[in-house]
């Protein structure tokens, strides 16, 4: 009597398997096979296998073509037809800022417990925070970039925040000071301090006449 039951893993109703999709996303993000293997906890041979399968299934020429391929999993909302109108084109604002760190655990604790930023989630060597509607991504890499853009964090009361951060052990480069006064009398104040890597950050606030 023949056995009609399929052996092995069940077939997927999508063009790629979940493992292949995860690998394709990583390839399109610019990661090498080694980086993908380390982040996913699999061997480089497994990554090469998934890449080769994806290229064959999608009928692409090579890995370069895979990096440029536009596609999404069958169940992804990104697979819905795009409603392209004139109003949907403009940039809506700054979505995310990236900053390199030497130790993701140390920096996660510092940004969460010292600066009181809302910690969203941590994945591998990446930690994400909400910074007033803009997402801050901390990225632990092989080297820390000393010449990154400075983050200016807006606070309500710069003097109270300065005092609180000093009590938490934050090293300030200078105290709160006025950097500009507008024609209507509104003042802009800043104070600069160091992050765990010794790079400068700043807190800033405004003070209007009569406020």
CA distance 208 to 189: 11
pLDDT > 70: percent of the chain: 86
- The yes-or-no verdict on residue 121 having pLDDT over 90 is yes
Which parts of 103-154 are beta strand (E)? Answer: 118-123, 126-131, 134-140, 152-154
Q: In Å, how far from its chain's centre is CA 181?
A: 35
Measuring CA to CA, how many Å separate 53 from each of 19, 37, 39, 163?
Answer: 11, 16, 20, 57
My answer on whether 137 and 164 are in the same domain is no
My answer on whether 22 and 69 are in the same domain is yes
Single out the residue in 148, 170, 191 at which a domain terminates. Answer: 148
CATH of the domain at 27: 1.10.10.10
Q: What angle do CA 203, 208, 211 make, to 5 degrees?
A: 105
Minimum mean pLDDT among 18-22, 91-95, 135-139: which range? 91-95
- The yes-or-no verdict on residue 136 having pLDDT over 70 is yes
Determine the structural domain holding residue 207 and report its residue range: 150-211
Single out the residue in 26, 48, 77 at which a domain terminates. Answer: 77
CA distance 49 to 52: 5
Q: Which tens digit of pLDDT belongs to each residue from 71-112?
A: 888 888 766 665 556 555 566 778 899 999 999 999 999 999
Q: How confident is the model at residue 4 (pLDDT cuts 50, 70, 90)?
A: very low
């Amino acid at each position: 009597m023949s056995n009609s039951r399929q052996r092995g893993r069940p077939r997927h109703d999508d063009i790629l398997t979940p493992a292949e999709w995860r690998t394709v996303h990583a390839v399109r993000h610019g990661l090498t096979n080694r980086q993908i293997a380390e982040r996913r906890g699999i061997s480089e041979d497994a990554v090469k296998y998934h890449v080769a399968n994806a290229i064959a299934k999608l009928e692409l020429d090579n890995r370069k073509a895979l990096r440029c391929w536009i596609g999404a999993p069958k169940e992804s909302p990104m697979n819905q037809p795009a409603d392209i109108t004139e109003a949907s084109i403009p940039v809506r604002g700054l979505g995310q800022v990236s900053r390199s760190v030497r130790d993701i655990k140390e920096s996660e604790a510092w940004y969460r417990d010292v600066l009181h930023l809302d910690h969203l989630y941590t994945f591998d060597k990446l930690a994400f925070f909400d910074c007033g509607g803009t997402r801050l991504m901390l990225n632990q890499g092989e080297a820390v970039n000393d010449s990154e853009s400075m983050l200016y964090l807006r606070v309500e009361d710069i003097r109270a925040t300065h005092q609180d951060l000093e009590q938490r052990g934050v090293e300030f480069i200078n105290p709160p000071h006025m950097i500009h006064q507008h024609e209507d009398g509104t003042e802009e104040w800043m104070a600069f301090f160091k992050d765990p890597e010794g790079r400068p950050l700043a807190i800033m606030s405004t003070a209007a006449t009569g406020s």
